[in-house]
Chains A and B, each alone.
Chain A
């Protein structure tokens, strides 16, 4: 069997596994977010918080919960890093410098996990386990909560109420993320991912001398890093490091974990709005984009155009042999079409077009299938825009799932779509225009520009992967990417919750013969077209200066 066939079979195996697994998980999440009963541990948690999980919240209250919790997260994580030097269990590592600590705190709370630090020599056990990994859980649970609030906006009528934030947050952690993470972590350990609390210790080498290892709770962090579409590696090399991703099986399993919740949420959405086919219409668009991107990526990486891959006889720079080009391409596409940003190979050394595909994946807004929660609400916003465009074409007031898309709704959706490109393009142009930020570039020419464009695309879309040649540990990049991550995460959430509130207040309109059938394949096609055209027009000039210039040279 050739490597191309093997790569295609891995993609098919992944699709098969997701087709099986998303059904029980999607059904389970409906129960999680609709059941009136609380588990005992959840009652203890609510008592600790001092919140009543049964109060219904309107959108401003829900939003205030999201923001207060996330602000506390940034503050806590910042302080934890600043105090690392005096905390026990930190391997004696120094405290993290202020700009980098802010950047990292913003990054993990915003579900981005952009890392301007070197994992294995910067963060001790306490910060990794009780700081970074905690945000991997809770930032994912916040994303799911906001998505569920939007789904309730579609499902409910003549109420402004969207559920209870504390209850959605806690249940996401206790009933979805933790149980899956425990099972997943043990599977990863069985493959060879390390899980211990050793200090720094020496291990002998074959030809003499020693290696210094720092152990750590790697598997327990690795699993939630993928499952929560976070992406922050324990080690610098992220999922390329053999202690994070030791075998071809662990590689495919990690890709599966990344896609699992975002795919299952489309079923949850369908069931909650009363028609599972509505969920599958959205999933069809996501799947079509993902498959298209995988095909393009495998095509360019196997064909390996460009001077260096041609000289070497294959695009293996920055790739691990055990994954090969197929397993690396799958991971690269999946991590950038979700908000994950974990990498098992280094995108900067991909072919020019391959690097461009990873960037375009993020620019689409990470909706195929996107981050946990954020993928679903991002795609539903695009659906609102798509029905609006369709409505303009036939001259009818657009409606989606029985809710009218009026001026207020379309304004919120349009603002949502504008925020991320504005952040990406403004910060990129500022960085190019100022005298010192370009000094951070590693590579010359178009690729150097791509490094900076990639950085802000990744930050504002909450991805976290990088063209890692860029030296991002400067005050400029730590501050600006930190701001881009926070604004790129929370401004869209404000708009999503406002939209949810206004939808939930509406009286549904009955479907008539003139209603656009949003559960049909034609709508999936319209949605994919809307995504590609809107994004294509926004980013095309920037892409032309970077990856397209490199790929066509």
Chain B
């Protein structure tokens, strides 16, 4: 009995020592080496691919943000600013519930099922809003024109991209609100449309932040 207890203790000791030694290798040396190499070779990417405009950091090219008007009294959610291209909905983003002294950028999806009536309702409401926001005199948006990415929340809630179709749909509204010709804004969207990597990886897309930065430049020049 005593013997088996001491054997077990010896074995657990070996297990613990193995864990500690391997923690030093894979939990200390490895991440430090990778961080060192990453900071030396790919400094921008390793620190979040920040984007600057007018000499100040305006976010990351990888992280979607909202382009809204200042919150109006009596409204729970701030309204989208019609001057700017809008990204995808982000209904799955939560609020800090832990360590609440921070207001960290969180990520998340809605996780609503394909047959959940609540999701169907949200999609319908989002379509109605997209139609309302983007129909300008002389240009009416139809429900069938609204692409899927405009009315669905992404997996992270931080999707930085929209489809070329959703960007094109917003062009008349954005042109009107910036006092720019529609063709010029349309060209800008085309210029910022990225095709599939190597022709077959991923989907064609438009980076909303980069597009809005270019739009601001264009508007300030004209």
Contact = CB atoms under 8 A, between A and B. Distances in A.
Nearest to B28: A130
B146 to A, nearest CB: 7
A76 B105 contact: no
Nearest to A350: B114
Contacts of A206: 53, 58-59, 65, 67, 84, 209, 212-213
A236 B202 contact: no
A321 B161 contact: yes
A451 to B, nearest CB: 9
Contacts of A327: 201-203
A198 interface: yes
Given A121-B98, A248-B202, A321-B205, A220 B34 contact: yes
A344 interface: yes
A147 interface: no
A196 B18 contact: no
Contacts of A189: 34, 38, 41-42, 45-46
A237 B114 contact: no
A519 interface: no
A73 B13 CA distance: 12
A241 interface: yes
Interface stretch (B117-125, B133-141, B172-180, B181-189): B117-125
Interface in A227-277: 235-237, 240-243, 246-249, 251-252
Interface string A297-323: 000000001111101111111111111
B205 A322 contact: yes
Interface string B1-45: 000000000011111111111110111101101110111011001
Contact of B65 (A211, A217, A343): A211
A195 interface: yes
Given A118-B98, A217-B31, A236-B106, A205 B65 contact: yes
B25 A71 contact: no
Nearest to B147: A313
Nearest to A553: B115
Interface stretch (A170-178, A425-433, A455-463): A170-178
A3 interface: yes
A3 B31 contact: no
A130 B27 contact: yes
A480 interface: no
Contact of B203 (A3, A130, A311): A3
A178 B104 contact: no
A215 B34 contact: no
B26 A237 contact: no
B62 A192 contact: yes
A348 interface: yes
A170 B124 contact: no
Contacts of B159: 242, 320-322
Contacts of B59: 203-206, 211
Contacts of A214: 104
Interface string B202-222: 110100010011000000000
B60 interface: yes
B34 A207 contact: no
Nearest to B8: A68
A418 B195 CA distance: 49
B203 A242 contact: no
A23 interface: no
A302 B163 CA distance: 16
Contacts of A308: 112-116, 119-120, 123
A324 B203 contact: yes
Contact of A314 (B104, B147, B161): B147
Interface string B97-114: 111011111111111111
A344 B27 contact: no
Given A131-B27, A138-B26, A348-B111, A237 B158 contact: yes
23 contacts: A1-B200, A3-B203, A5-B200, A6-B202, A45-B21, A50-B14, A71-B15, A72-B18, A93-B98, A134-B19, A137-B26, A169-B18, A169-B22, A182-B37, A193-B45, A206-B213, A211-B63, A214-B104, A249-B201, A318-B110, A322-B159, A443-B113, A550-B115
